[in-house]
Amino acid sequence: MKRLLFSASALALTAGFAGPAQADFTLTILHINDFHSRFESITSSDSTCNAEGEGKGECFGGIGRLKTAIDQRKEALTGSGENAVLLSAGDNFQGSLYYTRYKSKVVTDFFNEMGFDVVATGNHEFDDGPAEFAKYIETASFPIIGGNYDTTKDADLEGRPPGVIVITVGGERIGVIGATTIDTPEISSPGSNIEFQSVADYVRGAVGALEGAGINKVIVLSHIGYTVDQDLAAAVPGIDVIVGGHSHTLLSNTDEKAAGPYPTLVKGPDGADVPIVQARSYGKYLGEIKVTWDDAGKVVSAEGAPMLLDASVTPDDAFVAKVAELGVPLEELKSEVIGTATAPIEGSREVCRAMECSMGNLVADAMLDRVRDQGIQIAIQNGGGLRASIDAGEITMGEALTVLPFSNTLATFQLKGSDILASLENGLSQIEDGGGRFPQVAGLKFTFDKTKPAGERLVGEVQLQEGDAWVPLDPDKVYGVVTNNFVRAGGDGYALFAENGVNAYDFGPPLERVLADFIAKQGGDYTPYTDGRIADASPAETPAAEEAAPVEAPAQ
């Protein structure tokens, strides 16, 4: 397979390079997204699976299972003379102890052996700044693309990676355009030297450059989320396929829990249906879409399905051994038992980014408990900072680190009530997109209506706990707030925390230690609960996962 790397502007210079028109061309796209360094297999609730679970056939995903599935599908396709490519839609960093310890090296150690043809940039690739992203690019044997961001002013990246790549498969040139969520500066750490632009504007220009170069087969490899992918397809002509990520969306024609069909078809401005695919997250599924273009470069068919990587897929032995070897230094820390959960603690993104969840209550309660004696009255934890559930039974430090993998520290500051209200509105502004800014809280009660416009979703009074009583939050009063250092610095859209917060201290203990100490303070046994502190008054039916009557809070 040949690859050419170009900027969108440079592509226009190659227009005279176009070859003669071909007959119908079919390409099978294998794809993953939002792997998040989940090298070990996971349970049905996305927590780390163990040997007992593997023995019972209860585990999913894991890099070994993913390697087997990719190899088998590639062999079957190429063995029958079909064209195939393997794509990743980004967010391969962050989400397990493996990344926490080994950073980008552990990703390239495995991905270099998996045969990826193109890998997109996810927002989490910037979590440790441009320097770590640069290491990723330098050690990767697979091409990484950017897209709607400019790194020419950054000393570490110096204009890398390119936003567009042209690959040649079966004699056909295919343009692959990158796109990364424009929220990246708010939800990650790209630094001030990297500038993001409108996804639609960038993709429109890149499509035009590809067409000018005589390339009439265009894939957008995006990390912008399912709903934004649909908006992009409807707005920009010339896109043939969108392979997406960021929203961890399961698309399927058979799974009743799917957010939409696989592929989802959106009519573009030129009248053509644009197929959109995504394959959930964490390596639990391998997506497979077969696309056929006619000789004019028009998509005439697109069909496929995500493959669930369950116990029927035997993990690759060499990869399993490599994971075990890398895991040895982690075992002592991971195996430390910090308590027992009397029931599962719900930490899924589907719940914690849309409503009160028991993991949100646990983390927010732990944060507030840690600093309450410092005059702090309110805890606000972004739902996107909660990355997994915890099953009933022993809770280990490894599980705590999987839930809270970002090396965040406790951060305290003071803020006026009016800014707290505005910040809660920010937290409620992206529920329909699964935005990570949803506020999990302690010391507060509020009601919201997600059917109202963003910025107007709080319903009625926001109440503050004072002793055993609840009183209205005073817009003119200054309150003590605790959050994590990422949010305190303005992450996830909480700009008022950074701009108007005073007496900020961002260097408290790590969140996983705060969590562990809080569970120990409960006597070691923790009963998860919801208590109605966040109420959804939306007319539409809400998801059922946390919809049951509140469970009485355990004694603190």
Q: What percent of the chain has pLDDT over 90?
A: 85
Q: What is the CATH number of the domain that holds 202?
A: 3.60.21.10
454-492 per-position pLDDT tens digit = 999 999 999 999 999 999 999 999 999 999 999 999 999
Tokens, residue 538 = 């939306």
Cα-based angle 147, 278, 198 (whole degrees, multiple of 5) = 30
Tell me, what's the pLDDT at 17? 25
Q: What is the CATH number of the domain that holds 368?
A: 3.90.780.10
Tell me, what's the pLDDT at 3? 53
313: in domain: no
259 and 173 housed in the same domain: yes
549: in domain: no
356 and 280 housed in the same domain: no
374: in domain: yes
Residue 551: pLDDT over 70:
no
Q: Is the peptide bond preceding residue 509 cis, with omega within 30 degrees of 0?
A: no
Q: Name the residue with higher pLDDT: 542 or 136.
A: 136
Instruction: Walk across the sheet containing 525-526 and list its strands.
Output: 393-396, 337-341, 525-526
The number of distinct structural domains making up the chain is 2
Tell me, what's the pLDDT at 211? 97
286 and 137 housed in the same domain: yes
293 and 350 housed in the same domain: no
159 and 273 housed in the same domain: yes
414-446 per-position pLDDT tens digit = 999 999 999 999 999 999 999 999 999 999 999
251 Cα distance to chain centroid:
16
Q: Please say whether the beta carbons of 116 and 243 come within 8 A.
A: no
Tell me, what's the pLDDT at 283? 97
Strand 273-277 to 241-243 pairing? parallel
Residue 167: pLDDT over 80:
yes
Question: Rounded CA gap, 5 and 140, in Å?
Answer: 15
If you average pLDDT over residues 382-394, what whole number do you get? Answer: 96
137 and 209 housed in the same domain: yes
296: in domain: yes
Confidence of residue 508 (pLDDT cuts 50, 70, 90): confident
Q: What percent of the chain has pLDDT over 70?
A: 93
Tell me, what's the pLDDT at 88? 98
304 and 414 housed in the same domain: no
319: in domain: no
249 and 174 housed in the same domain: yes
Confidence of residue 548 (pLDDT cuts 50, 70, 90): very low
547: in domain: no
Is the full-model pTM beyond 0.85?
A: no
Residue 133: pLDDT over 80:
yes
107 and 60 housed in the same domain: yes
Residue 549: pLDDT over 90:
no
Q: Please say whether the beta carbons of 392 and 343 come within 8 A.
A: yes
If you average pLDDT over residues 332-348, what whole number do you get? Answer: 93
Neighbours of 79 (CB within 10 A): 8
Tell me, what's the pLDDT at 23? 76
164 and 93 housed in the same domain: yes
11-32 per-position pLDDT tens digit = 432 222 233 345 799 999 999 9
64-101 per-position pLDDT tens digit = 999 999 999 999 999 999 999 999 999 999 888 899 89
Q: Name which of 47-51, 170-174, 388-392 the model is least confident about.
A: 47-51
102-123 per-position pLDDT tens digit = 999 999 999 999 999 999 999 9
Confidence of residue 547 (pLDDT cuts 50, 70, 90): very low
Residue 185: pLDDT over 50:
yes
201 and 245 housed in the same domain: yes
End residue of a domain, out of 289, 308, 327: 308
Domain that holds residue 419: 336-536
If you average pLDDT over residues 27-42, what whole number do you get? Answer: 96
Please enumerate in sequence order all residues whose Cβ is within 8 A of that of 80, keeping only pairs 6 or more positions apart, or say none: none
Max Cα distance, the chain (Å): 78
Confidence of residue 207 (pLDDT cuts 50, 70, 90): very high
DSSP string, 309-359: --TTSPPPHHHHHHHHHHHHHHHHHHH-EEEEESS-B---HHHHTTS--HH
Q: Please say whether the beta carbons of 526 and 340 come within 8 A.
A: yes
Question: Rounded CA gap, 422 and 415, in Å?
Answer: 11
284 and 383 housed in the same domain: no
Residue 63: pLDDT over 50:
yes
Distances in Å between the Cα of 101 and the Cα atoms of 61, 105, 114, 140 are 21, 10, 22, 18
302-312 per-position pLDDT tens digit = 999 999 999 99
248-283 per-position pLDDT tens digit = 999 999 999 899 999 999 999 999 999 999 999 999
If you average pLDDT over residues 132-145, what whole number do you get? Answer: 98
If you average pLDDT over residues 158-186, what whole number do you get? Answer: 97
